[in-house]
Amino acid sequence: MIEKIKALLREAERFQAKDQEELESFRIRMLSKKGAIPSLFQDFKTVDPDQRKEVGMELNKLKQFAAEKVQQIKEQLETESINHKAEPDRPDMSMPAGFSPIGSRHPLSVIRNRINKIFERIGFVISEGPEIEDDWHIFSALNFPEEHPARDMQDTFFVGKDPDIALRTHTSSVQVRVMENQKPPIRTISPGRVFRNEAISARAHCIFHQVEGLYIDEGVSFADMKQCLLYFAREMFGEETQIRLRPSFFPFTEPSAEMDVSCSLCGGKGCTICKYSGWIEIMGCGMVDPNVLENCNIDSKKYSGYAFGMGIERIAMIIYQIKDLRMFFENDLRFLRQFTAAI
Ligand code: DAH
């Protein structure tokens, strides 16, 4: 018996563990209910009475030593693993993933991207033009008469002293650039920033955004335009949406129209958003005036087409029910963070 105890003690003294698993199997082998030490205690009954004192002392010593050894190795392994984690060149793959917050897109970008996607699906390509433009592209090529009020200082920001150079007041300038540089068929949309000398209020700003659309080909009709815009309205505001075209005037389209969509919030019944009319105006449109085609060297006898233009802020205000246009430009994080889930 005494020999067995001594052998186990030597084994316990020599024991080292490189991980928790090894330590645990040592503990089970030595100290668990059916382990070597408890079974020696079982055998203790059979020891000669005159040897009992000595054997008992040795046995207790062994038990205590083994228990302390297990505890000591356990602590050692724990500190090792902490130090190990701190080593920069050895990443700890078990650590919880770090959280780095990602930014959110501006609501105007979200809506612009949606508009782009809707038209891209039916073959429109995106085109862009400069924000600082000349009179020809903003006004003259688009059939604005010399004395048109939009050319006035009160509406247009001129750049420097040159009356020919101004910040574009609409993205219709891009349709001129596209027509000058491409041959029909043309199917393009031009999103961008525009500038007008207006007093800032809940409904107007001196900087805002538009998307211009242009379709030129042989035999394009007003009915084609209507179908295209109905498709857009339903993709943007929901498949139940109805559209309505009202006669209007723009120098660059003939005939011209203003397009309303049925109010997606009240379903046309009447609410504060549609001012109890059931309809919301969202864009201007029309058949491109033959003068504009000729100004851009496109044969107006052979080709016809339609154009449309809408304000991105306006669409975003309807979709998100935003009542004050200034919120888009204030960069208030409490406002912008509401759009984190958007793509
Ligand atoms: N450029 C016009 C504006 O800023 C919007 C517009 C109306 C664009 C009719 C068009 C159009 O292409 O056909 O108010």
Tens digit of each residue's pLDDT (9 = 90 or more) over 46-81: 888 888 888 889 889 989 999 998 998 888 888 877
174 CA from centroid of ligand 1 (Å): 11
Percent of the chain clearing pLDDT 70 (strictly above): 97
Taking CA atoms only, the protein residue closest to ligand 1 atom 3 is 170
Which band of pLDDT confidence, cut at 50, 70 and 90, is reported for residue 99? confident
CA 285 – ligand 1 centroid, Å: 6
Quote the pLDDT of residue 151: 80
Mean pLDDT of 91-95: 81
101-123 burial: b if 16+ Cβ within 10 Å, else e: eeebebbbbbbbebbbebbeeee
Model confidence band, residue 341 (pLDDT cutoffs 50, 70, 90) = low
- Whether the pLDDT of residue 114 is over 90: the answer is yes
Question: Which of 129, 126, 166, 130 has its CA nearest to residue 150?
Answer: 166
Task: Tell me which of 3-7, 138-142, 216-220 is least confident.
Answer: 3-7
Reported pTM: 0.72
Indicate the range of 61-70, 108-117, 124-133 predicted with least confidence: 61-70
Higher pLDDT, 172 or 342: 172
Residue nearest (by alpha carbon) to ligand 1 atom 2: 309
CA–centroid distance, 238 to ligand 1, in Å, is 24
Residue type, 28: I
How far, in Å, CA of 204 to CA of 132, rounded? 21
Asked whether residue 134 carries a pLDDT value surpassing 90, the answer given is: yes
Number of residues in the chain: 343
Ligand 1 atom closest to Cα of residue 194 = 4
Average pLDDT over residues 176-183: 97
Phi, psi of 68 (to 5 degrees): -65, -40
- In 50-153, where does DSSP find H-type helix? 52-86, 107-120, 135-138
Of the two residues 150 and 107, the one the predictor is more confident about is: 107
Tokens of 230: 């109905």
The pLDDT confidence band at residue 149, using thresholds 50, 70 and 90, is confident
- Model pLDDT for residues 294-325, shown as the tens digit of each residue: 999 999 999 999 999 999 999 999 999 998 99
Mean pLDDT of 186-210: 95
Closest residue by Cα to atom 7, ligand 1, is 284
Question: Which domains does the chain carry?
Answer: 2-79 (no CATH), 107-339 (3.30.930.10)
Residues whose beta carbon lies within 6 Å of some atom of ligand 1: 170, 172, 212, 250, 253, 284-286, 307-309
Cα 335 to ligand 1 centre (Å): 30
Please give the distance, rounded to the nearest whole angstrom, from the Cα atom of residue 266 to the centre of ligand 1: 27
Q: What is the DSSP string of 170-221?
A: STHHHHHHHHHH-PSSEEEEEEEEEE------SS--SEEEEEEEEEEETT--
Q: What does the pLDDT read at residue 192? A: 98
For residue range 248-276, list pLDDT tens digits in order: 999 999 999 999 999 988 888 888 888 89
If you average pLDDT over residues 126-147, what whole number do you get?
95
pLDDT digits (tens, 9 = 90+) for 208-254: 999 999 999 999 999 999 999 999 999 999 999 999 999 999 999 99
Q: How far are the Cα atoms of 24, 65, 79, 235 from residue 75, in angstroms, in the given order?
A: 13, 15, 6, 64
Per-residue confidence band for 127, with pLDDT thresholds at 50, 70 and 90: very high
Ligand 1 pocket, mutate which of 115, 124, 170 (most atoms under 8 A from CB): 170
pLDDT at 275: 86
How much distance in Å is there from the Cα of 308 to the middle of ligand 1? 6
Candidate from 222, 252, 296 with most ligand 1 atoms within 8 A of CB, to mutate: 252
* Least confident window among 127-141, 257-271, 279-293: 257-271
pLDDT at 124: 98
* Local structure of 58: helix, strand or coil: helix
What's residue 100's pLDDT? 75
Say what the pLDDT of residue 305 is: 98
Q: Mean of the pLDDT values across residues 128-147?
A: 95
CA 163 / ligand 1 centre spacing (Å): 23
How far apart CA 88 and CA 113 sit, in angstroms, is 42
Q: Name the residue of 138, 172, 196, 306 to mutate for ligand 1: max ligand atoms within 8 A of Cβ.
A: 172
